[in-house]
Amino acid sequence: MNSTFFATAPKGFEPQLADELAALGASDVSVSRSGVSFQGDLSTAYRVCLWSRVANRVLLALHRFPAASPEALYSGIRTIDWADHMSSLATLAVDFHCLHSTIRHSHYGALKVKDAIVDQFREACGERPNIDREQPDIRVNVFLERDVAHVSLDLSGESLHRRGYRVETVAAPLKENLAAAVLLRSDWPAMARSGNAFLDPMCGSGTLPIEAALMAVDGAPGLLRAYFGFLGWKKHDVRTWAALRAEAEQRRAAGLEQTPPIIGYDADRRAVRAALANVEWAGLAGVVHIERKELIDVRPVGGQKGRAGLIVVNPPYGERLSSTGEVVGLYARFGETLKTWFRGWRAVVLAGNSELGFRFGIRSRKPFMFYNGAIECRLLDFDVDPARFFTPKTMAAGSADRRDERLSAIMTKAREAERIPAGGAEMLANRLRKNIKNLGRWARRQGVSCYRLYDADLPEYAFAIDLYQGEKTWVHVQEYQAPSSIDAAKAEARLADAMTVIIEVLDVAVEQIHLKVRRKQKGRAQYERQGAAGRLHEVAENGCRFLINFEDFLDTGLFLDHRITREMIGQLAAGKRFLNLFSYTGTATVYAARGGACATTSVDLSNTYLQWARRNMELNGFVGDTHRFIQADCMAWLENASQQPNRNRYDLIFLDPPTFSNSKGMRGAFDVQRDHPVLITKAARLLEEGGLLIFSTNFRRFRFNAEALGGLTSEEITRRTIPQDFARNPKIHSCWRISK
């Protein structure tokens, strides 16, 4: 007799799962959100549990009923005769998920379901099942959507990505079913049947080569698993399951007799050790070859240039790290290796950023979007064919050319023969000369090498112009987005005039100018990547050295308006334990360390900025265990840190949160106006008696709520923290000193 089942899948790979289920004998296959429903008998469900390479879980539908209240949920669960599925001595676990329903808390919903099942047994026989959250005899799955409960048995018991061969791991390993889905989309099974080679040059703990080998040898991915959710189920058909396993053993044995070359390389010795252990446990020793090798030394199997095969690689995503140039360089080097040694091969790359894919220097097919957990990724598919290589000129320009297309067009217009800038441009030139004279004198006297020269001083020329002086003088021009009522052609002509004036008055080359449009930002949008050039330049400020990036982000990594605030932190930090929350590129941490802080802690959700902060600290000679860098949602980190007050105590805290953020890595949306009292209060709990917290925000309409801070004392110091180059724009930020 057929039943209804639902198999869950990694987001984006539902179509691959649907094809797989149809091939395994499922009927009425239908793709829906995060999974696929299908019809079949128990043998079909067992076959899916044993053979599906893509599915996370396989659920057997039991009942569906309205549950607009906790009481209705409890009553509906009790209408199911649970004695048909388990004994009173069995163990139980409940997974509960809710969406757009009156019951909003999954833990509470799970408790109501558990109570209903346990109470039914207690009333019937005086005994109740015990709870086992790890490997229960029966796992019940309830999905409550729009107050309708869908009750299922989880036949998989635990996620099917747990194949049973991973005995060693590395940081952020790729889940096995996600790796398999990538391989299926890359047509690896057909290539394996044709004898093509497989290569993963950054194999980590070996997931991709092992999954590739399981496909090549016709190995059932669930054959090594000792636990499934149906094994403790009363209706489990032992004979059918034994027959399916015996068939799978025979198919694997036959497949092992002839396999194509399957290779995994990695430069990290620990990763190689982990991969070798996992290959051995998977029973694929002799099938999968694992070796330590640097990326630049990777060659085709057998050293034969151009031998056909498939490369699949999961390099560092560069989701946050690419600004340091490390990931960008990695992609570029790998691209050169492909073009030199792997012509005729196919390369598939999991990338967190399509801009990084451009660094390979090979045109890819249309990227396929999917999710690795919460991270949005792209699957880039390349034919390593000279016809698809970028020219050297194009590669050298890269994505920077695409970002600077507008600047190039503006400069072309500015250089038009016999072009004479409009009369207003002379006013701009005069203002720049005046500012250079006055601010330049001030900057030299104060030892300031990076400062704001112009900030929409003339309404007709709505730009912010910053000078950064290092080995060269760079000009960072931010054009404030013009209202829609302004004629676009006139605005473009005015910008061309302005660029002509900037080049003439400041005496800089076009290559030293970086033009961006500053639109109204939401939350951390000003921090988000605009490109992936990864070029860093060094500048100095008050004896501190910083790395800045003009191309990849709206801001450069050094907030010039916080210069005085950083100096204040440096002056206060001697002998103190310093905490920098929402630390960005760690410039305040550098000042604290230089001021004599005995220890520093920098917390930010972005790995890019933490790595950038680490490099800024190293650039200034501050290394070692006394300087911690923690990647975390600051609100969540504060909550956890307050539970360990003896371990997390600070004498000086700098708190400069975004105006708004709903980053995927955060638990919820953050709004500085709404949430600053809670944020400050939580941070102040970590202060030692007599400690000081400095709070700053760039939200121009910010209203400080001192009354909501309880026993904390606050003093606004905004006017004291506005540098002279921002004096004409005093709303650039607001700042307070806060103490217990």
What are the C-alpha distances in Å from 497 to residues 415, 425, 430?
Answer: 10, 6, 13
Cα 202 to Cα 111: distance, rounded to the nearest angstrom: 44
Cα 145 to Cα 64: distance, rounded to the nearest angstrom: 11
- Closest C-alpha among 95, 86, 175, 186 to residue 128: 86
CB 75 within 8 A of CB 44: no
Residue 292, SS3? strand
Cα 144 to Cα 154: distance, rounded to the nearest angstrom: 16
Residue 94, SS3? strand
Q: Which amino acid appears at position 571 of this protein? A: Q
Q: Which amino acid appears at position 91 of this protein? A: T
**615 in the same domain as 576:** yes
**442 in the same domain as 356:** no
- Asked if residue 240 belongs to a domain, the reply is no
CB 599 within 8 A of CB 575: no
- Asked if residue 490 belongs to a domain, the reply is yes
- Asked if residue 236 belongs to a domain, the reply is no
Cα 479 to Cα 468: distance, rounded to the nearest angstrom: 17
Q: Which amino acid appears at position 628 of this protein? A: R
Per-residue model confidence (pLDDT) at position 638: 93
Residue 540 β-bridge partners? 545
**724 in the same domain as 690:** yes
Residue 199, SS3? strand
**469 in the same domain as 389:** no
Q: For residue range 379-389, list pLDDT tens digits in order.
A: 889 899 888 88
Exposure string of 495-531, with b = 16+ CB inside 10 Å and e = fewer, is bbbbbbbbbebbebebeebbbbebeebebbebbebbb
**696 in the same domain as 630:** yes
Instruction: Kindly calculate the radius of gyration of the chain based on its CA atoms and give it in whole angstroms.
Output: 30
Task: Return the residue matching tokens 């709206």.
Answer: 554
Phi, psi of 269 (to 5 degrees): -60, -40
CB 174 within 8 A of CB 285: no
- Asked if residue 529 belongs to a domain, the reply is no
Q: Which amino acid appears at position 173 of this protein? A: P
**565 in the same domain as 472:** no
CB 493 within 8 A of CB 413: yes
The burial class, CB within 10 Å (0-12 / 13-18 / 19+), for 11 is: middle
Can you give the CATH number for the domain in which 481 is found? 3.30.750.80
Angle at 409 between CA 429 and CA 493, to 5 degrees: 45
**608 in the same domain as 635:** yes
3-class SS letters over 245-272:
HHHHHHHHHHHCCCCCCEEEEECCHHHH
Residue 670 β-bridge partners? 661
The burial class, CB within 10 Å (0-12 / 13-18 / 19+), for 251 is: middle
Can you give the CATH number for the domain in which 294 is found? 3.40.50.150
User: Which of 493, 520, 547 is a domain's end point?
Assistant: 520
In angstroms, how far apart are the furthest CA atoms of the chain? 99
Angle at 593 between CA 588 and CA 595, to 5 degrees: 95
Q: Which amino acid appears at position 215 of this protein? A: M
**133 in the same domain as 262:** no
Structure tokens at 382: 């390349």
* Residue 444 structural domain: 405-520
- Asked if residue 653 belongs to a domain, the reply is yes
Q: Which amino acid appears at position 605 of this protein? A: L
Write out the E strands in 367-482: 368-372, 375-383, 450-455, 463-469, 473-480
Cα 200 to Cα 562: distance, rounded to the nearest angstrom: 46
Q: How many domains does the chain have?
A: 4
Structure tokens at 9: 């899948």
**143 in the same domain as 7:** yes
Cα 105 to Cα 496: distance, rounded to the nearest angstrom: 57
User: Which of 490, 520, 550 is a domain's end point?
Assistant: 520
CB atoms within 10 A of CB 677: 17
- Asked if residue 169 belongs to a domain, the reply is no
Can you give the CATH number for the domain in which 67 is found? 3.30.2130.30
Parts of the chain with a pLDDT under 70: 172, 302-307, 317-328, 352-358, 390-424, 482-486, 488, 518-534, 645, 662-668
Task: Give residues with Cβ within 8 angstroms of 394, minimum separation 6.
Answer: 401
What is the torsion angle, in degrees rounded to the nearest 10, for the CA atoms of residue 7, residue 12, residue 18 and residue 20? Answer: -90
User: Which of 456, 487, 520 is a domain's end point?
Assistant: 520
- Closest C-alpha among 441, 420, 501 to residue 465: 501
**How many Cα atoms are found within 13 Å in the side-chain-facing hemisphere of 100?**
3
Residue 686, SS3? coil
Cα 680 to Cα 696: distance, rounded to the nearest angstrom: 11
**How many Cα atoms are found within 13 Å in the side-chain-facing hemisphere of 185?**
28
**495 in the same domain as 420:** yes
**370 in the same domain as 299:** yes
Write out the E strands in 107-192: 130-131, 138-145, 148-154
Cα 723 to Cα 451: distance, rounded to the nearest angstrom: 9
- Asked if residue 293 belongs to a domain, the reply is yes
Per-residue model confidence (pLDDT) at position 394: 42
Task: Return the residue matching tokens 């209705």.
Answer: 72
Q: For residue range 622-674, list pLDDT tens digits in order.
A: 999 999 999 999 999 998 888 876 778 999 999 999 988 765 455 567 889 99
Cα 127 to Cα 453: distance, rounded to the nearest angstrom: 79
Report which secondary-structure segment, H or E, holds 287.
Answer: none
Phi, psi of 546 (to 5 degrees): -135, 150
The burial class, CB within 10 Å (0-12 / 13-18 / 19+), for 23 is: exposed
**337 in the same domain as 279:** yes
Structure tokens at 256: 């092992």
- Asked if residue 584 belongs to a domain, the reply is yes
Residue 362 β-bridge partners? 389
